[in-house]
Structure formats: C-alpha cells, structure tokens
C-alpha cells in the first residue's frame, strides 16, 4: 500500500534513513503537483505535510477549475490564456473530478459589465482561453435569462451571458495528484511538520521534522528543498533567514452552504455585488454554496474562520440577487474559510492583487513557491522542478505531466468515461448500492471505484446491508488514501462535513472507532480524534 498510514512506521523510517533528491514541504495542490512532476522525471522525492493533505487553501477554494474570466478584468491576458488552456489539460487528466458546468452571468443595471462589454469579454475569453467551440458563450436577453434562472430578481436585470466553468473538488484533486505521485515512487506523509532546515556548506540540505502523530523528531536529508506551504510560505522563509524582498499578503475568502431547497437555483450563477466584487452561487448534489469574500487577513493562519460579518455580507448579496429568497444566518448549514497566499503589492486592495504565482530562491537555495490557482498547479510544478533540476545539476528524463492521467482519472476519452460510469453503477446495483450513491462514488473515485466495489462485495457476508457502503468506503480511505483522522475523511476525502453536514455528525463516533481499530490507536488517541472532529463540525456552523 503506497499511500496508507498502515505503513506509517515504514515510511517514517525511510524518511529518516534515506537521502532524497528533493524534499517538498507542504501537501497542498502545489506541493503534490511538484512531487508528481519531479517523481515522473526520475527524481527521488519526499513530501511532508504538517496536517492532512489539502488541509490548507487546497480544500477551501470555490472549487472551480477556472478559465480565468476574472483576470480579463485585470487585463492579465497571458494568465487568461494559460489557465484556459490548462483547464482542458486538467479535465483530460481527471475526468471524474473536473466537470464542465454552465455558468450564468446576469447583466444588471449599474453592474460591472454592460451587455456589449459582457459579450465582448466572454468572446475574448473564449478565444484567449482556447475554449472549444461547443462551449463558447451565448448571450441571453432578459426573458431568456429569467427562463434559465427563474430565481433571479427581475427588476434590474438586462440579460445574461452563459459560459462554461469546470467544477471540481479541490481536496480530492490534490489527493489524486498525491496518489499518482506515490505510484511514481514519491514518498508522501501527512502529519509531519518541518520545523527548521539543515545546511551543508552554506546550502540547504534537508530539514528537521516532527511526527505530529507520535511526537517523534527526525532529520531528513535532501539535496534540494521546496517550500510549498501556501499561506505559511513566509514562516519557513523566516526560518531560513531569507524573508526579504517579496512577501505574502494573505486575504481570506469564505463560502457558506445552504440546503438546495433554501436557494433552489437551477445552475451556477456568477453575480455582481454592490461593492464592485462578484460572487458565485453553485448548486451541487442537494446543497447550494455561495462565496466568496476577499478581505485582508493578519490573524492565525492555522484557523481562519468564517465570521458573522462574512456571513452577513454573503447573505445580503444573495438575498438581493435572487427574488423570493430570504436567507438568514440560521439557514446556513456549514461553511469554510480559506486564505489566498498572494504576493503583496503596495497600494492594491485584496481583489486587485495578482493571482499569479511566484518562485523565490534564497541564497541558501531554499525554493519557495506561492500564489497561483488550483488550475495552474501543473505549470507551477513544471516551473519549480526546472529550478530543482538546475540546482541538482544532473540530467533527468524530461517527461511532462501534460498527458499523465491522475489516480482515478484513467479514462482515454469521454466515451470511455461514460461507458465505465454505466458499467460500474450497474455492477454496484447488483451489490445493493443505489444509483445515486454509485454515481457519487464514481465522481469521487473515478477509475479506482472497482476497489471500493470489491470491498463492498467482501463485506456482503457478515455485515448489515445498511453498513456495507460506509464500511467499504472507509476501508478504501484507510488502505489507499492515507486517512489518519476522521476529519481527513469527512472534510477532505468525501467533503461530507460540508455537503452532507447533518448526516456527517452521526458518523463521527463510528468512524473514530473504525479508524482507531484499523490503525491500532489507543482509547486516548481515539477520544482525542473524536473531540477534534466534533470541534471541526461545530466550527463550520459557528459565526462570531
């Protein structure tokens, strides 16, 4: 099992006893992308993550693989082209997780864009981003816009533009990249914190680590080190005594989740707010989520929370845009808050700061990367690994990740994807798994779904039918997805804590017991995990 905490001791021993070409610190999408790129090129790679994979910004985004429309407004044309082209690549490599979805852009009186400018902007966007013809924008008059989304408030509405965004599940995308990197030989471990660096002849040569699960400390030796710590990047630059020049400016963005019945929109909408910003309302299996805010953040990086003020801002904007909708604080079923690791620019407001990525190399050789988007993770990885290779001064193969299907994404065409979906959901039915759940699994696990079905089949004897699906999924999470805490599964492998909030609460005691039993944890550890999970559950609905 290449990606399982059942092998934690073995992995930890390898971390401490072997020497690596590259140590990546940070298991968000940026770090995991770098680990995959480097491992594919033949480097010996280790990655450590101080919490769980995707614990940081990579599980707290709007969950869209953008074509980059918002950058058009800031005239970042190259960025629009890069992310647009890249979106198609990410879709091809993870068809189960990156799914085209129509997005409605209502045009309102005194809004950011008028009818002509929206039409022109969306066309420029389609052309620049290389959007395929079948997904080019369509402009709608007021009547057509209301037909597409009857819930829109009609008074100020002039019309709309319909274009395509791709929705994703950010933390699952990160996990599938991590799993693919492990398949390629990289050693990735969660709950390992980098505390400080070690140096040899004035150059960085590894790091001091703490295993947060056992409390053990160790040292890892690596010829190159990449700091992919997202919002925490500057903390590690400080440890390297190299925090000078460019610095991060963190901005917070929150999302709130309603039951779909409270905001029953028919499709995703990207709409204007009176302060000149724009926010998304996105329906997704039984819920609708709305976000995001964009405010300067200077507090605890480990615990960004959604405040009462954040919720009020989003509620006011949503109630104004949709008629007959009177959402209030008590309708919010869950929430998440994330931090954008942006590069500080004097005199710019949070929304004006560039989302471009930036690589900074210290005199000691520490390579730090921050900024960027989920969408551009592969290009960021490519750029960073080129610097790693330069520092190593050795030849590696030049394999590109462009055509590399991620774990769960092993489908060669859309036809094959649809065929496999039919085949696997049909087979699931023979095991008593209903169509909805089978599809949920297919879009979560893609081409890995047969492993879950095998688990379910094995569990058929000796377990009540109602438990089989749950147990099969938990077993997969432990054996193949590096789950160590219940929050790993509920927040970042399945998203249930956000999207099936109430049901997830009931799972906490059983799931804690299951994990403790399979990973041989003692009663004290189990109780701690259970308390931690209850707290995470509460946090997502507490707004101060």
Q: Which residues are at the interface with ligand FAD (CB under 6 A)?
A: 25-31, 48-51, 55-58, 60-64, 66, 193-194, 228-232, 236, 253, 292, 338-340, 372-375
Nearest distance in Å: CB 428, ligand FAD: 30
Nearest distance in Å: CB 139, ligand FAD: 24
CA 528 vs CA 167, 265, 398, 510: distances in Å: 34, 40, 46, 14
Nearest distance in Å: CB 352, ligand FAD: 16
User: Is the distance from CB of 167 to CB of 99 less than 8 angstroms?
Assistant: yes
Nearest distance in Å: CB 411, ligand FAD: 22
CA 430 vs CA 434, 439, 446, 451: distances in Å: 9, 14, 19, 15
Residue placing its CB nearer to ligand FAD in the complex, 60 or 526: 60
Angle in degrees, CA 13, 187, 241, rounded to 5: 85
Nearest distance in Å: CB 409, ligand FAD: 17
CA 16 vs CA 194, 200, 216: distances in Å: 13, 17, 11
Nearest distance in Å: CB 335, ligand FAD: 11
Residue placing its CB nearer to ligand FAD in the complex, 53 or 514: 53
Q: How far apart are CA 337 and CA 256, in angstroms?
A: 9
Q: How far apart are CA 138 and CA 116, in angstroms?
A: 12
Nearest distance in Å: CB 242, ligand FAD: 15
Question: Is the preceding omega at residue 444 within 30 degrees of 0, hence cis?
Answer: no
CA 253 vs CA 247, 353, 373, 451, 480: distances in Å: 19, 14, 14, 36, 31
Tokens of 167: 């929705």
Nearest distance in Å: CB 437, ligand FAD: 26
Residue placing its CB nearer to ligand FAD in the complex, 230 or 446: 230
Q: How far apart are CA 537 and CA 491, in angstroms?
A: 9
Residue placing its CB nearer to ligand FAD in the complex, 90 or 529: 90
Nearest distance in Å: CB 50, ligand FAD: 4
Q: Residue 476's closest CA among 496, 456, 491?
A: 456
CA 291 vs CA 150, 222, 284: distances in Å: 20, 40, 14
Residue placing its CB nearer to ligand FAD in the complex, 62 or 405: 62
Neighbouring CB atoms inside 10 A of 518's CB total: 17
Tokens of 408: 């769960």
Place of tokens 């910004």: 57
Residue placing its CB nearer to ligand FAD in the complex, 64 or 428: 64
User: Is the distance from CB of 342 to CB of 353 less than 8 angstroms?
Assistant: yes
Residue placing its CB nearer to ligand FAD in the complex, 28 or 159: 28
Nearest distance in Å: CB 372, ligand FAD: 5
Nearest distance in Å: CB 383, ligand FAD: 13
Residue placing its CB nearer to ligand FAD in the complex, 62 or 223: 62
DSSP 390-420: HHHT-------GGG-PPTT---SSHHHHHHH
Residue placing its CB nearer to ligand FAD in the complex, 48 or 220: 48
User: Is the distance from CB of 441 to CB of 449 less than 8 angstroms?
Assistant: yes
Q: Residue 269's closest CA among 134, 140, 172?
A: 140
Residue placing its CB nearer to ligand FAD in the complex, 267 or 454: 267
> 47 pairs with which residues across the strands?
24, 188
Residue placing its CB nearer to ligand FAD in the complex, 67 or 160: 67
């Amino acid at each position: 099992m290449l990606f399982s905490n059942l092998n934690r001791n073995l992995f930890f021993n390898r971390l401490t006893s072997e020497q690596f070409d590259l140590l990546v610190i940070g298991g968000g999408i940026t770090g995991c992308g770098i680990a995959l790129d480097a491992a594919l090129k033949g480097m010996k790679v280790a990655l450590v993550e101080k919490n769980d994979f995707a614990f940081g910004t990579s599980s707290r985004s709007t969950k869209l693989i953008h074509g980059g429309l918002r950058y058009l407004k800031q005239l970042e044309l190259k960025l629009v082209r890069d992310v647009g082209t890249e979106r198609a690549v990410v879709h091809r490599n993870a068809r189960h997780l990156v799914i085209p979805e129509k997005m409605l852009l209502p045009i309102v009186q005194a809004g950011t864009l008028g009818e002509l400018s929206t039409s022109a902007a969306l066309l420029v966007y389609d052309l620049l981003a290389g959007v395929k013809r079948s997904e080019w924008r369509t402009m709608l008059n007021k009547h057509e816009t209301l037909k597409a989304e009857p819930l829109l408030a009609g008074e100020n509405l002039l019309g709309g533009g319909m274009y395509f965004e791709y929705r994703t599940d950010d933390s699952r995308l990160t996990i599938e990249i991590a799993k693919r990197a492990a398949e390629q030989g990289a050693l990735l471990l969660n709950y390992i914190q980098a505390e400080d660096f070690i140096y040899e002849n004035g150059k960085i040569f590894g790091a001091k680590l703490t295993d947060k699960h056992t409390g053990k400390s160790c040292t890892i030796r690596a010829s190159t080190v990449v700091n992919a710590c997202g919002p925490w990047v500057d903390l590690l630059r400080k440890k390297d005594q190299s925090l000078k020049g460019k610095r991060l400016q963190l901005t917070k963005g929150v999302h709130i989740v309603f039951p779909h019945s409270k905001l029953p929109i028919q499709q995703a909408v990207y709409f204007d707010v009176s302060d000149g910003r724009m926010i998304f309302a996105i329906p997704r299996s039984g819920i609708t989520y709305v976000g995001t805010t964009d405010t300067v953040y200077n507090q605890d990086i480990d615990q960004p929370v959604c405040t009462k003020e954040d919720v009020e801002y989003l509620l006011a904007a949503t109630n104004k845009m949709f008629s007959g909708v009177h959402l209030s604080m008590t309708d919010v079923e869950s929430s998440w808050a994330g931090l954008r690791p942006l590069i500080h620019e004097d005199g710019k407001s949070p929304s004006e700061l560039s989302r471009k990525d930036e690589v900074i190399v210290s005199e000691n050789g520490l390579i730090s990367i921050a900024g960027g988007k989920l969408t551009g993770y592969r290009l960021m990885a490519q750029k960073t690994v080129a610097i790693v290779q330069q520092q190593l001064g050795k030849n590696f193969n030049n394999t590109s990740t462009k055509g590399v299907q991620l774990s769960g994404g092993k489908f060669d065409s859309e036809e094959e994807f649809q065929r496999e979906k039919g085949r696997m959901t049909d087979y699931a039915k023979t095991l008593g798994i209903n169509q909805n759940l089978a599809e949920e699994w297919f879009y979560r696990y893609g081409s890995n779904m047969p492993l879950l079905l095998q688990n379910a089949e094995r569990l058929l004897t000796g377990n009540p039918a109602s438990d089989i699906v749950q147990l099969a999924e938990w077993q997969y999470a432990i054996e193949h997805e590096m789950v160590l805490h219940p929050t790993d599964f509920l927040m970042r492998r399945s998203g249930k804590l956000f999207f099936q909030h109430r049901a997830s609460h009931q799972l906490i005691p059983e799931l804690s017991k299951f994990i403790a039993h399979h990973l041989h944890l003692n009663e004290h550890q189990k109780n701690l995990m259970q308390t931690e999970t209850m707290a995470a559950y509460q946090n997502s609905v507490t707004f101060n």
